[in-house]
Amino acid sequence: MSDARLLSALSSLSHVAKQLEVPPPALPALGATCVKLNMNENPFPLPPVVKKSATAAFERHYLYPEDDNVGLREAAASAYGLSADQVIAGNGSSELLGLIYKAFLAPGDAVAMISPGFSFNRKLAMLHEAQFLEIGWGQDHSLPTQQLLSGPARDAKFIVLANPNNPTGTFIAIAEIERLVAQSDRLIVLDEAYVDFAPDNGLRLVNRYPNVLLLRTFSKSYATAGLRIGFGFGHPELIGRLRTMQNLFNMNVIGHAVGMSIIEHRDAFEENHQYVVRERELTSVALSALGFTALPSHANFLLARVPEGHDGAWWQAALQRQNVLVAFFPESGLENFIRISIGTERQMDALLSTVSDILSSPN
């Protein structure tokens, strides 16, 4: 395409699309020795019985998946004590989060999120030309209830609250969240992507309050990040309207089968969850001995303040040069932190060994 034709095509982009930054060039393919601790993935293999369901589903690859995800929704409803019309299944919980923005926001509307939080919300707000209100956490990462009820967020169409939170890993007591929900007449989107590593969950709020919409994903605690299996739980009126907005056949047959098998065999993942919690605490202690300070976490990652002398970006780059990937967030307040996913014992040993080598080498 000539430059003139490209410019002509680009000139036809919508106002919103023109604001989007073109993604940077993709990173080279990861080598087999790469220690990947930057995406909060669960690196353990699926139980054989769940893998078997995926293999069987592949034999139906020439068929469209079940319309409206009926079987998967019914299985989730039964497992979580809900009715099927209270459940929506999605191509990961991120698809469902996008549907919520699409359903509730018009240009100029506002949405609120406690910050720092899941940055994808910022992009979704921009795509819908909405105001994105970032409300700071209270002291010791407490819930800023009054700020959300009567402060800057009082006009927000809905509030996004991740619990445990990403990227901090911090957890808010469900009783504290319930007080916010009970006092608010707005939708509260409770994102529980990491809840299987936490001491409690907000599922009981779904039947108590019609203004709660709870999101879950199997990506983190059930090791299916590449299969994209997510759920939303809420009042049938809310859930029904979101379901009508979904893409036709939004999930694939393998995702359906694996999701249903996981629900049936959730107890097979208990050892996995216990390992992550145990390794998370061991890694926090080990990092402390190396001069880092990890925030108390209830997720499958740690947000760690780096030692004085270099910022988080420097540490991310230094680790990447040694084939160890961690996450860094450039926004205000996080400049001196890196986020480290909890991986296998071998991966965590490699991380700690590499950190020790970096600290002992001349800068």
C-alpha 303, offset from chain centre: 15
Lowest pLDDT segment from 101-105, 151-155, 243-247: 151-155
- pLDDT at residue 9, as a whole number: 82
Lowest pLDDT segment from 30-39, 40-49, 185-194, 334-343: 30-39
Which of 89-125 are b and which e, b meaning 16 or more Cβ less than 10 Å from the residue's Cβ? bbbbbbbbbbbbbeebbeeebbbbbbbbbbeebbebb
- pLDDT at residue 26, as a whole number: 61
Amino acid 224 reads T
Whether the pLDDT of residue 22 is over 50: the answer is: yes
**Which residue stretches of the chain are H helix?**
3-11, 15-19, 48-58, 70-80, 93-104, 120-127, 145-150, 174-183, 205-208, 236-244, 253-264, 270-289, 312-321, 345-360
Predicted confidence (pLDDT) per residue in 164-197, tens digit: 999 999 999 999 999 999 999 999 999 999 999 9
Whether the pLDDT of residue 1 is over 50: the answer is: no
What percentage of the chain reaches a pLDDT higher than 70?
Answer: 97
Amino acid 326 reads V
Task: Give the domains, in start order, of the chain with CATH numbers.
Answer: 26-46+270-360 (3.90.1150.10), 48-264 (3.40.640.10)
Predicted confidence (pLDDT) per residue in 70-107, tens digit: 999 999 999 999 999 999 999 999 999 999 999 999 99
Amino acid 133 reads L
- pLDDT at residue 21, as a whole number: 77
Lowest pLDDT segment from 2-6, 171-175, 188-192, 311-315: 2-6
